[in-house]
A and B are shown apart, each in its own frame.
Chain A
């Protein structure tokens, strides 16, 4: 008896469309992979486009030259002893132009060339040299080595952001200026340095002299206000809802309100801030105090929700134990439950603050889109915020502002990443599984 016969006589498997079904399965997996890759791709493109445009904003082209403080230019009539106004209004850019022209060997009667020379440095030299001379009047007549900013066009050209090979008429910088630029950089007077101005300077209509100073201070004030107001109020509200009350009409009302507030569009909070804080209470517009209050209202629901889930995660045995050894309700909550919930509360607070830091729309409505040239001393002074500054720079037409905008976005993202890392570290380090 051969076993093989039996095998041959088994009927063919019934066709149940397995091949088709497996093909559908593969297709389905491919859809999933495609969807995830699309998401990843856009994340990559987004970050790459911001970083590739913005990393160069952290360097700025400067010039270092020996400048002769010619008394004949600063104070031709020699009246500075009794008229201090002269030193304020003197033509300081001319000093720089002359020094640069001398260095480049441009004759003093070639006006066209001189004009091009004076477009190579930033107009901020006026203020810079004025402050220098006002501080040290003995400089007049002498020679002093000064480092000052190059103009935005030279800066872009030096960073190779402008296509220098193209036709001369299609760019803002002439062939002669390019040649000068290369000569200056060869002997070291034109160089790149870390751009501290991006962090310290204030609003300006010139790209090379505008910075995030006011925005950083304004954002800092607002974050402090948000932290100081929303943390105690939010935690108190959450403790009350979670520990003290049973379900009743009041808690239902609060619950519905919290959930609704969390989904109200942020711009509506801006309208609220404008109508209530600015118009009704008469707080000054475009100040960090109003911005901070508006952001507080937006952050409260986040903090309340996070605190409630942190409190819920504390096991009831802790409460029972505390009550069992004679602690009062309040002592139980404040001495035992709340300390155990602190990591969760901190995580929620940091995430709420990170959201508030990146929020723009409500701040536009309360007038933080302002040209603020002076540092705000108190939260009652006009200020801007980091995302609002990005918005304002994004609307500027000049090309060099794109670089600044991307640089500002990088600064904002770095802050957000630091905050998120802090919250992840807190969660990893202190989270307890009961």
Chain B
């Protein structure tokens, strides 16, 4: 019996228990006894005690036995393969695949040649050039493994079903007027709700831990100074036979590119976004606002890959041609440049700036405006001298949030900024960013544990810390400088 069918049968059993308990509770109620809970709560209680313990046990059992068997196989592999620890993990992996194929198909258990055929098939699929000296050995390990899997799985299934059936009977027979089923079911519900909300914490922990472990193992082969203060980015990929040459992983050019492109983007987005927000909040009539605001929000809803394509196929070539036209033949703007990426990113950020600032400006109370108008100020003077100072902390916070988005933006820079890591101040040349390098290092075929790929996690960690810092500063600004109006 396969895993999914076990789970399905347990669910079926639980539903059966639900119906029986529910019906039984109704019969008791029909006889005129007053029950503590409504009848369906008895049903739900039975369902929960059938399903939850047995499934938790089943999943736990499967994971544990898998780990145990893997451990056992690798230890028996070690005793025979000796000191070749590197090839041992490959052997175990092959034995693992073979064993799982054998479990699925009883036919293969009959003769030795079939094992060989399956093994060849697996080797062919994995494209491993591997001498088959230890072939018999692998096959014997795999057969043993497969038998153990079958045995453990059988034991697990039996225990699961015994557990489910027992708790089904317990649930059905405990249906009685005094039983406080509703409270129990509600207790389980609240527990589930709490579990769900702690998943959010789990995700954060997962993000931080996964990055941290890979980053630490990266810094075991590359020094901190090389990464944080290096000015050359050259992670050589051909580190197969030259063990010492690990390449240079200088963060500085990437960080400079990231900040520079984000700066260009903000240079475009801040004036356009802020002035749009001010105009929308203070000057427009409601019907016009009702048209323009959704239109700007469309800009926010367009996926970043579309902006990237726009930069690559439209704006980049346009700026390139423009520079040829302006400098009469000499193209001083590259097709992929920091300017193109920054400009397109700026377009993307306009709606973020404008909608965040719009909310903040409209939150400034009416009385401040009226006071200013009463003193004879014009509308623009009111905005400059009264409203903007009042809204200032909120606007700074929203700009910081927008900037953190600019730093973490990936698709636009991947398509439009270029891949060459260079330290330059010229915005017309190609630059590269942290996110581009993360994508570059992790797309394609490679060995996972080399510093060339692990550096992506160190870069990701840097990115995470940068954006978190910006958020914290934004929060601090809002808390510290917020004006309280009644």
Contacts and interface: CB of A to CB of B under 8 A. Distances in A.
Given A240-B196, A258-B200, A263 B471 contact: yes
A180 interface: no
B286 interface: no
B210 A271 contact: yes
Given A276-B210, A361-B435, A36 B471 contact: no
A232 B410 CA distance: 30
Contacts of A228: none
A416 B410 contact: no
A360 B305 contact: yes
B200 A29 contact: no
B197 A39 contact: no
A59 interface: no
A74 B362 CA distance: 76
A412 B197 CA distance: 32
A260 B190 CA distance: 25
Given A42-B347, A237-B199, A267-B438, A35 B271 contact: yes
Contacts of A27: 380
B132 interface: no
A46 B307 CA distance: 8
B279 interface: yes
Interface stretch (B28-36, B226-234, B331-339, B455-463): B455-463
B310 interface: yes
B350 to A, nearest CB: 5
Nearest to A263: B471
Contact of A237 (B190, B197, B309, B435): B197
A416 B303 contact: yes
Contacts of A274: 442
A275 B460 CA distance: 12
Contacts, number: 250
A271 B438 CA distance: 9
Interface in A253-273: 253-254, 257-261, 263-272
Interface string A353-388: 010011111001101010000000000000000010
Contact of A35 (B182, B206, B272): B272
Contact of B203 (A261, A357, A402): A261
B312 interface: yes
A361 B199 contact: no
B267 interface: no
Interface in A211-266: 232-234, 236-241, 244, 253-254, 257-261, 263-266
A358 B276 CA distance: 26
A184 to B, nearest CB: 31
B293 to A, nearest CB: 10
B463 A268 contact: yes
A237 B408 CA distance: 27
A261 B197 CA distance: 13
A268 B464 contact: yes
Contact of B306 (A244, A263, A409): A409
A32 interface: yes
Interface string A135-158: 000000000000000000000000
Given A358-B303, A390-B305, A21 B186 contact: no
Contact of A36 (B193, B198, B279, B408): B279
Instruction: Give the size range of A's interface with the partner.
Output: 35 or more
B242 interface: no
B433 to A, nearest CB: 11
A419 to B, nearest CB: 9
A93 interface: no
B194 interface: yes
A328 B182 contact: yes
Nearest to B377: A21
A22 interface: yes
Interface stretch (A80-88, A121-129, A186-194, A297-305): A297-305
B196 A35 contact: no
A50 B408 contact: no
Contacts of A185: none
B401 interface: yes
A38 B308 contact: no
Interface in B281-336: 283, 292, 295-296, 298-299, 301-310, 312-314
Nearest to A233: B196
A31 interface: yes
B354 interface: yes
A396 B25 CA distance: 67
A43 interface: yes
Report which residue of A34, A272, A329 has the largest number of chain B beta carbons within 10 angstroms of its beta carbon: A272
A276 B206 contact: yes
Nearest to B210: A275
Contacts of A304: 200
A73 interface: no
Contacts of B411: 360-361, 387, 391
Nearest to B401: A263
B410 A267 contact: yes
Given A263-B467, A365-B442, A394-B312, A254 B186 contact: no
A261 B292 CA distance: 30
A39 B309 contact: no
Nearest to B272: A35
Contacts of B200: 237, 254, 257-258, 261, 300-301, 304
Given A267-B460, A330-B189, A416-B301, A361 B410 contact: yes
Given A33-B279, A272-B210, A416-B303, A267 B435 contact: yes
A325 B74 CA distance: 64
A369 B457 CA distance: 19
A297 B306 contact: no
A354 B301 contact: yes
A29 B283 contact: yes
Nearest to A240: B193
Contacts of A261: 200, 203-204
B373 interface: no
Interface string A276-291: 1001100000000000
B276 A32 contact: yes
Contact of B206 (A234, A272, A360, A391): A272
A205 interface: no
A263 to B, nearest CB: 5
A413 interface: yes
Given A233-B199, A387-B303, A271 B460 contact: yes
Contacts of A196: none
A405 interface: yes
B203 A265 contact: no
B163 to A, nearest CB: 25
A240 B194 CA distance: 6
Interface string B156-169: 00000000000000
19 contacts: A29-B283, A36-B275, A46-B302, A254-B201, A263-B401, A265-B407, A265-B435, A268-B460, A271-B438, A276-B210, A300-B203, A328-B183, A330-B189, A360-B305, A390-B306, A390-B309, A391-B414, A394-B308, A406-B309
Given A46-B347, A267-B460, 14 more contacts: A25-B378, A32-B276, A39-B276, A40-B295, A234-B196, A253-B201, A265-B404, A267-B410, A271-B438, A275-B213, A276-B206, A361-B304, A365-B456, A387-B303
Interface of B: 182-183, 186, 189-190, 192-201, 203-204, 206-207, 210-211, 213-214, 271-276, 278-280, 283, 292, 295-296, 298-299, 301-310, 312-314, 347, 350-351, 354, 378-381, 383, 401, 404-405, 407-411, 414-415, 435, 438-439, 442-443, 448, 456-457, 460, 463-464, 467-468, 471
Would you list the 8 A-B pairs with minimal beta carbon distance, nearest first? A265-B408, A32-B279, A358-B303, A35-B275, A236-B196, A275-B210, A240-B193, A28-B380
